[in-house]
Structure 1
């Protein structure tokens, strides 16, 4: 009996369909935007075509109007969509909306699903997630923003939020706030649905970062906002998932977000490797192609190895998700690896392009500045490594070997 790496035919078919979609529609649309086309009109046209082809909300169950793809098929699709900046947006599977849609499907009331989830599924509105705070950083249990009942059927929220991704493009926000300071650290916070714009939810600024952004970054949701929460009144009906469940719901949505970043990173890394390979084949120095130099071949080999490991990680995690198995350890390992993998591959491609790679004449320099964020968002590398290492110790103490915390269940 052998381990079967065969992809089911239906998953292969949808991957091929999405691959063709990205090449035939998304990349040409990218070029039209560069040539001056209107962003909203271009995206609307692209989305209408996608829906007409049944390419909409890939991970969303059929009963909610999605494609109903399982974890494996969705992983394959996301790895294709990452090949274009418009890929995920075209099929309404962009972050941070996608993970928040999953949260609303799992925890929303009938009222919340009708009023807030439905327009998100239809692509009519966008949503952001306001969790992170300057004072707490990676410690989601340390948030200080408060939510207090006013005795009139509302909660009143006060505090600040930091790096609320896509807030400047959002019509709805999920806001986490402290509701019970006496509870255990993981049960102190709750999540609230906030309609935007709202005078109590003040976007102070789109934080300037090191990332090189194109002219439509804000509309695409690439911004990261600093937000003041000032006497923000939220009806009790907009409490999501019950009091004290904010942290657990947050981890639920972040788990998928980490993997989606990784899936898109694979696509970007592959595109970078392709660019590098095409360049070294054409480029000659001192009478010899760069492609024929052993040192260059080693650099390409290292990139290929990184991509190979990345794909195996994602496929194994998708397998565990399909089987309903615990994948938290693998998720943390993969989150760190995939963030570093894409950085290494893009950096190598940039190096092989020389001064051309350092310029903005190729997408490499812009990618390089944006992917540095991957090692910080959804939990910095150090936190995930700490958790992973702690689990290694726990596994050894329980079983006399750390194998179960290091992929040992594969064997």
Structure 2
């Protein structure tokens, strides 16, 4: 049977609609904000138009108000939305809200779906995910935040959290805490839904990072917060997925989040390459067009190659997801590759722009400082490489070849 890369007509149609949406509405809206228009007003206008066009919640089933797209169609859509920092927000497809919606849909009780999922679906509320701690870092099993029952139908949480992205704009926090220290390592933790503001969940500060900080960026949810949790009372009915299932809930949401980051990285890299190519076709140095210089052509070729590999990775993962196949190995490989790919392409685009690229007259400098986080968030490169390497060894021991851990099912 032939390998078929034909994109179904319905997927082509929705990709075209979203591409037009981003180019005609989201990117011009960025300019409106840059000229001083209020972010909340701009976003409200965008969302009203998006919903009127049926462009809302692409990853959610139709019966929950979404577009009902499968993994392939959603991947194509996300690879367009990421060209604008308003793209995902305009269609209520932004992280970390999107992954939490999917987790609530799959594992939430009817009560939790009614009380918490519905406002997320409508775009009325936002969420943050509080898992990471200073003491634990990449090893989430080192978490020290505890949750104990008080005998009155509640859990009481105490501890601290670190880099809780979007906590400053969140109405709900999804918090992971240790409920059974004597259980197996990955069954010690549980996940709780916490309504905000709450005196037991205190934002200490928005952690300064190398990314550009502004009031608007923080309103959009770009802040990463340090949290103090002290005698935080959470009703037992707000336990998500069952006691001891915190890691299962975390992996459910992080798996999608990693892919969404990668899809948006492809979109950003594509826009960066477009900006760079437009610039070199307009510039001349020493009496010769930049586009005619072999060194410049090599730089563009390397970026194009990286983007090609990235798209193939995502299409293969989408294919496996469409068919209910295990995507964990490919997801880990792609997460690392896509984070480094976008860094390489944006860096090259800056270089090709010269001093203009280093300035803030183009979006490239802002993107560059922001995307460095991609090699850290949702697990640093080294952890994913470690797991990938373990799977290579496991495949060899099982099969006498490493093919199963290196895309061998393609052949």
TM-score normalised by length of structure 1: 0.99
Whole-Å separation in 1 of the counterparts to 2:367 and 2:31? 17
Equivalent residue runs for 1:27-66 within 5 Å: 27-66=27-66
Whole-Å separation in 2 of the counterparts to 1:302 and 1:33? 33
Show the counterpart of 1:4. Answer: 4
8 Å CA contact 1:190–1:242 kept in 2: the answer is yes
User: Residue deviations 1:359-383, cap 9 Å, x none?
Assistant: 1111111100000000000000000
Show the counterpart of 2:69. Answer: 69
Deviation at 1:27, TM superposition (A): 1.1
Say how many residue pairs are matched.
411
Deviation at 1:29, TM superposition (A): 1.1
Whole-Å separation in 1 of the counterparts to 2:398 and 2:227? 44
8 Å CA contact 1:204–1:225 kept in 2: the answer is yes
Whole-Å separation in 2 of the counterparts to 1:40 and 1:294? 46
User: Residue deviations 1:274-312, cap 9 Å, x none?
Assistant: 111111111111111111110110000000000000000
Show the counterpart of 1:371. Answer: 371
3-state SS, counterpart of residue 281 of structure 2 = helix
Deviation at 1:215, TM superposition (A): 4.0
Deviation at 1:140, TM superposition (A): 1.5
Show the counterpart of 1:244. Answer: 244
8 Å CA contact 1:213–1:366 kept in 2: the answer is no
Q: Structure 1 stretches (4+) deviating beyond 6 angstroms? A: none
3-state SS, counterpart of residue 157 of structure 1 = strand
Deviation at 1:213, TM superposition (A): 3.6
8 Å CA contact 1:22–1:87 kept in 2: the answer is yes
Answer yes or no: is 1:127 the counterpart of 2:127: yes
Answer yes or no: is 1:309 the counterpart of 2:309: yes
Answer yes or no: is 1:279 the counterpart of 2:284: no
User: Residue deviations 1:6-62, cap 9 Å, x none?
Assistant: 000000000000111111111111111111111111111110111111110000011
Show the counterpart of 1:266. Answer: 266
Greater mean alpha carbon deviation, residues 318-327 or residues 353-362? 353-362
Equivalent residue runs for 1:269-348 within 5 Å: 269-348=269-348
Equivalent residue runs for 1:364-403 within 5 Å: 364-403=364-403
Show the counterpart of 1:228. Answer: 228
Show the counterpart of 1:409. Answer: 409
User: Residue deviations 1:221-278, cap 9 Å, x none?
Assistant: 1110000001000011111111000011101100000000000000100011111111
Whole-Å separation in 1 of the counterparts to 2:31 and 2:356? 20
Answer yes or no: is 1:206 the counterpart of 2:230: no
Show the counterpart of 1:183. Answer: 183
Whole-Å separation in 2 of the counterparts to 1:140 and 1:255? 15
Show the counterpart of 1:84. Answer: 84
Equivalent residue runs for 1:160-199 within 5 Å: 160-199=160-199
Root mean square deviation of aligned Cα: 0.7
Deviation at 1:214, TM superposition (A): 4.5
Consecutive unaligned residues in structure 2, runs of 5 or more: none
Answer yes or no: is 1:14 the counterpart of 2:46: no
Consecutive unaligned residues in structure 1, runs of 5 or more: none
